[in-house]
Structure 1
Amino acid sequence: MTDLLFELVTEWGATALAVVTFLSCLAVPVPSSMMMLAAGAFAASGDLALMPVAASALAGAILGDQAGYQLGRFGLAATEGWLRKSPARAGVLDRARASIQARGGSAVFLSRWLFSILGPYVNLLSGGMRLNWWTFTAAAITGEVIWVMVYVGLGYSAGSHLAEVTTLLGNVTGLATSLLVTLGLGYALWRRRRRQA
């Protein structure tokens, strides 16, 4: 499938990249980061133009983020009545909403580029928890600009060394995500132990 998507980038260029980044923001498992690297490398070789590639990747990602936010907003609205029937679920829902409102912008920003695997879920949660739309949009666009600049820029810089850069980025992303999960679990265990004491 990856080979097919790379062929789409070479044949359809920026349009294919916009579609793929859009889908990746909705948790569709497509290799958007790899395709941005490849598109950057194609731009370096003169097969594609750099600015349309970057602009299309960014436009697709921004539209995907907005679609995910709206899906979360209406999806939670449809189930909130049922969730509130249980006092325990209602309490969790209220705490989640307060947390997103207090720290949601930084979570959105970091999940665009540093912890990008979490991005689609942060989109849904931000919409569902009614994070202020302006806060969401500003943080999402800022983060997506970094994501696109890093991947397209690295692909452009790497040129013929794309395979080595792809391996390195995969390792760094895996390490960052593992570290985030470890810190989150450690914090949850610490809070639980503190409550029990």
Structure 2
Amino acid sequence: MTDMLLALVPEYGGWILMAVTFFSCLALPVPSSFLMLAGGAFAASGDLTMTTVLASALGGALVGDQTGYLIGRKGGAPLIARLQHARRSAGLLKRAQRMIDQRGGVAVFLTRWLFSPLGPYVNFIGGAMGLDWRRFTLGSLSGESLWVSLYTGLGFAFASQIAEVAQIASDLIGLLAALLVTVVLGRFLFRASPRNGA
């Protein structure tokens, strides 16, 4: 599927990027990050303009986030119950719910680019839990802007080495996520230790 979508990017450019980022925000398994890298590379070669690439990818992601939020707002408890029973999404759903409980708008921001597998579930849960729409939208806009700029910018800068950049970006985001989890777990253990508990 990735090869087929990649072949369509030079011809349909912005529309493909918009559709892929939209659907990725609704938990559909599409190669959005890779296609944004490719969009940046096509902009570097002159096949697309960078303005088209950025606007399309960002527009699709923002509309996808808002759609997920509205689905959560309208579907509420039945949607959450259905996702909890699905084997693939149950673990991601619990982590997303915990992040929304603890961090609200910051969770939305972080799950746009750093913890992106949680992003669609944060959209649904944010709506279902009644997270303030303005906080959700601010977190979405800032996080998606960073995600889109990062991937399209890397694609533009390293147009001739897209596959390598995609692997490095994936590894780097995994490393950053692991470091953040380590810091949070370390703080939790430090606070829970008997010397610091009381």
CA contact (8 A) 1:18 1:59 kept: yes
Per-residue deviation, 1:11: 1.9
Per-residue deviation, 1:138: 0.9
Is it true that 1:31 corresponds to 2:48 in the alignment?
no
Distance 2:170 2:142 in 1: 22
Is it true that 1:55 corresponds to 2:32 in the alignment?
no
Distance change in 2, residues 1:151/1:97 (3 Å): closer
The aligned runs of 1:11-160 (5 Å cut-off) are: 11-78=11-78, 100=100, 103-160=103-160
Distance 2:41 2:144 in 1: 19
Show structure 2 runs of 5+ residues with no match.
Answer: 81-95
Q: Which amino acid aligns with 1:76?
A: G
Distance 2:102 2:185 in 1: 20
Q: Which moved more, 1:44-53 or 1:98-107?
A: 98-107
**Paired residue secondary structure (2:104):** helix
1:124-179 alpha-carbon deviations (Å, 9 max, x no partner): 11111110001100110111111111000110111112222111001112223444
Q: Which moved more, 1:171-180 or 1:160-169?
A: 171-180
Distance change in 2, residues 1:41/1:112 (3 Å): same
Percent identity, aligned pairs only, is 54
Distance 1:188 1:125 in 2: 24
Per the alignment, residue 90 of structure 2 pairs with: none
**Paired residue secondary structure (2:51):** helix
CA contact (8 A) 2:25 2:65 kept: yes
CA contact (8 A) 2:14 2:56 kept: yes
Per-residue deviation, 1:100: 3.3
Distance change in 2, residues 1:34/1:192 (3 Å): same
**Paired residue secondary structure (1:13):** helix
**TM-score in terms of structure 1 length:** 0.80
Q: Which amino acid aligns with 2:175?
A: L
Q: Which moved more, 1:96-105 or 1:48-57?
A: 96-105
Number of equivalent positions: 182
State the superposition RMSD in angstroms: 2.9
Greater C-alpha Rg: 1
Distance 2:29 2:185 in 1: 25
Distance change in 2, residues 1:132/1:33 (3 Å): same
